[in-house]
Amino acid sequence: MNRKGVERIKIAFGQARAAGRAAFMPYYVVGYPNLASSIDILQTLAQSGADLIEVGVPFSDPVADGPTNQIAAQMALKNGISLADVLEAVHKLRRRAIDIPMVLMGYYNPFLAYGIEALCRDAAAAGIDGIIIPDLPPDVRDGQAMINYCREHGLAFVPLLAPTSTEKRIRIVVQAATGFVYLVSVTGITGARDQLPADLATFVTRVRQFTDMPLAVGFGIATPAHAAQVAQIADGVVVGSALVKLAREEQAVTRIRELATALAGSMRLPLHHTT
Amino acid sequence: MKTVSETTKRVHAQPWQQPDEQGWFGSYGGQFVPETLMPALAELEAAYREAREDSAFQERLAYLLRTYVGRPTPVTFARRLSEQLGGARIYLKREDLAHSGAHKINNALGQALLAQRMGKRRIVAETGAGQHGVATATACALLGLESVVYMGTVDVARQRPNVFRMRLLGTTVHPVDAGSKTLKDAINEAIRDWVTNVRTTYYLLGSALGPHPYPMMVRDFQSVIGREARQQMLDQVGRLPDTLIACVGGGSNAIGLFSAFIDDEDVRLIGVEAGGLGISAGQHAARFADPVRGRLGVLHGTKSYVLQTQDGQIALTHSISAGLDYASIGPEHALLREIGRASYTYATDAEALAGFQMLSELEGIIPALESAHAVAHAIKLAPQMSSDQIILVNLSGRGDKDLGTVLQALGETEHDLIV
């Protein structure tokens, strides 16, 4: 039996590092293009070299997301997907013997409507290991409450940092983090981009000064070439929109498997990082 | 009639002081935004607090409000309307006479000056009815700032004159075709723009909504309405009104009026939400009136009452007035309601239309459809009050922008006025 929650996340980052890789962390939203396909896609991602999966919860007003994830969320909601459905999907994946860490990623209001204590309890029971909420800074009153419930149920609370984060913000955020810290690569919203931001390495280095916790970088990373660059400087690489985009193309599952496999293969660290 | 000394007596031992340092109005408010924006909010709050204490900034704002906006706006006694209704005397605070046609300019000008002071040259804003967009475009033209306004495509269609106005004023209008294609979606898009361009861009939010410090700042810039109105009532009538009525979308005109009277406990404060086609029909924007869908939630950076589904998805709203067609309400209103200091009711589309027509015919004042909701409630309330009592209605904007919508609505009901 695998260990759960924060422990499972720690182990995943540790194993990737031991294998000389950064962790590959695909994001995918439940319910797009429909519930059954999305569960199959999540399973495919898990079996194509993912070290951790970010399970997206659809929301009607995703202000941190670009068009790809907006459309995916809209369609998922049209399909009637609720937070309970997402947890059920996770449970299903666990029953299919998916044992890598799964982290819930979603906006705060659906969590609040569900009840944050109930959410942490039910998410942990379903097999979720951590929670990422892009519109809930850890030092806002509700953030504190969420952190406490996460701790109670053994879940990681994964806060975000951005290139605009000041030293003061970095200190506050890394202090609140468990599992890993999510670094938003760009000053902007999610979505595949042609190139990585020029100041990314500086940003990662700036955060690294304040914590030994794994740093995962996401937003805008679309290709194995991008991922390889990010893997040189970070402990984890998140790819979302580029995968989500493929879901409505022909042979979607095959194409997602191919991209995921290529991304996973691009995670090698520079030699001096390997153990 | 009450004497001046009685009615001006401040009842509270401590004056109303909200929000707290973290931006909470009791259990409402806060800062629920992507981390990218947290430093920008801190910078904004610091800049605003500095500007608030800076007499040069305040003098420049006051100068422009006087010589450019045309403040103080008058308080008008609505004699014929009052006589017709046969109850309380109704007075109107005439924000419709403010330059650019609504109270929105008070806040737009204040924040544009702040942006200039912070060295931000690019302004983004959202708009529903187009009044805040026009006010922002106006302030930016005056101060030589670049401006971009996001507006839902449904609103673009129903408030076309304001789209033309914004373009004439040199603003880029971005139609937003997502979600309900109204104010909520315009705010989403404005936030995405701000997240992307935060280093160079100032987000000029138009209502008493959003993450701290916006609800506080917008209220402060709109509080000129209440300060003027309070003094004008004392000067013109010799006493304070018994009841204030204002429409509430996000709630900036209402909080601007209410803020000067919160400590006057004898003055009743009433906010009027958009009842749309009726609460039971589910097509409305009455956050406080719908016990099923109107629940505590977080939308656009603030915790307040939000119309939402069981699953916490933001509900689609409906109102004949674009400016009230929004799923959440400013956090300070949620607190005022919770402690019983203000009460909230709603007027339906049909009632607002009737108020629109009645004020036009009896007073020669064509109100904005938003303000017509406040008028509609005054029409209901005045007959229940005595003739020595006074209602002050915030006439937050003028109705030129709504002529198309109103003609269409009347055409549908009367079959002979189709344009």
Instruction: Report the C-alpha gap between B330 and B207 in whole angstroms.
Output: 8
Residues of A in contact with B311 (CB under 8 A): 82-83, 110, 113-114
Contact B191, B205 (CB under 8 A): no
Considering only CB atoms, which chain A residues are within 8 Å of B24? 141
Rounded to the nearest angstrom, the minimum Cα separation between B315 and chain A is 9
Taking residues B246-264, report their average pLDDT: 98
Strand partners, B125: B149
**A176-210 per-position pLDDT tens digit:** 999 999 999 999 999 988 999 999 999 999 999 99
Report which secondary-structure segment, H or E, holds A265.
helix A252-265
Residue of B nearest to A71 (CA): B178
What would you report as the CA-atom Rg of chain A, rounded to the nearest whole angstrom?
17
Q: How far is A63 from chain B (nearest CA, A)?
A: 5
Nearest CB partner across the interface for A64, out of B22, B34, B297: B34
- How far apart CA B4 and CA B89 sit, in angstroms, is 18
State pLDDT tens for residues A2-53: 589 999 999 999 999 999 999 999 999 999 999 999 999 999 999 999 999 9
The secondary structure of residue B130, as a DSSP letter, is S
pLDDT at B136: 98
Say how far apart CA B318 and CA B323 lie, in whole Å. 11
Nearest to A140 among B30, B39, B40 (CB): B30
Residues 270-329 of B with CB under 8 A from A: 295-301, 303, 306, 308, 310-314
Measure CB to CB from residue B195 to each of A60, A64, A111 and give the nearest one. A64
Q: How far is B231 from chain A (nearest CA, A)?
A: 39
| H or E segment and range at residue B244 | strand B243-247
> Would you tell me how many other CB atoms lie within 10 Å of the CB of residue A36?
11
Check CB contact under 8 Å for B178 and A161. no
**CA angle in degrees (0–180, nearest 5) for B417-B380-B251:** 85
Mean pLDDT of B231-258: 98
Q: Which residues of A touch B176 (CB under 8 A)?
A: none
User: What confidence tens digit (pLDDT) does each residue in B156-192 have?
Assistant: 998 889 999 999 999 999 999 988 899 999 999 999 9
Among B35, B306, B313, beta carbon nearest to A77: B313
Length of chain A, please? Answer: 275
Residue A40 is inside which H or E element, if any?
helix A35-46
Task: Given the cut 0.90, state whether the ipTM is greater than it.
Answer: yes
The residues in B 230-269 lying below 8 A from A, measured between CB atoms, are none
Q: Catalytic one among A7, A40, A61, A65?
A: A65
**Candidate list A54, A85, A122, A129, residue with the active-site label:** A54
B135 three-state secondary structure: helix
B126 counts as catalytic: yes
Contact A111 B24 (CB under 8 A): no
The tokens for A82 are 């609720």
- Reduce the DSSP state of residue B167 to 3 states and report it: helix
CA distance A124 to chain B (A): 19
Cα torsion through A203, A206, A209, A211, rounded to 10? -40
Whether residue A98 is predicted with pLDDT greater than 70 in this model: the reply is yes
Q: Is A54 a catalytic residue?
A: yes
Closest CA to B92 of B81, B105, B112, B76: B76
**Which residues from chain A sit within 8 angstroms of residue B183, using beta carbons?**
none
Name the one residue in this structure whose structure tokens are 């009726």. B278
pLDDT in tens, B209-220: 999 999 999 999
Band (pLDDT 50/70/90 cuts) for residue B412 is: low
Q: Are B241 and B390 in contact (CB under 8 A)?
A: yes
Whether the CB of A88 is below 8 Å from some CB of chain B: the reply is no
Handedness of CA A70, A75, A80, A82 (dihedral sign): negative
Question: Does B415 lie at the interface with A, CB-CB under 8 angstroms?
Answer: no
- Whether the CB-CB separation of B248 and B397 falls below 8 Å is answered with no
Q: Please tell me the predicted confidence (pLDDT) of residue B2.
A: 43
Judge whether residue A244 has pLDDT over 90. yes
Which is catalytic among the residues B126, B273, B332, B363? Answer: B126
The letter for the amino acid at B342 is A
Tokens of A141: 């009153």
Give the rounded percent of residues in chain A with a pLDDT score beyond 90.
95
Give me the pLDDT at residue B129, please: 87
Q: Which pLDDT score, from 0 to 100, does residue B199 have?
A: 93
Q: Which residues 344-383 of B have a C-beta within 8 angstroms of A?
A: none
User: Measured between beta carbons, which residues in chain B are less than 8 angstroms from residue A77?
Assistant: 313
Q: Beta-carbon neighbour count of residue A18 at 10 Å?
A: 10
Contact yes or no for B30 and A162 at CB 8 A: no
A-B interface: how many C-beta pairs under 8 angstroms? 122
> Which residue of the set B93, B104, B184, B303 is catalytic?
B104
Give yes or no for B188 touching A (CB within 8 A): yes
Check: CB of residue A128 under 8 Å from CB of residue A105: no
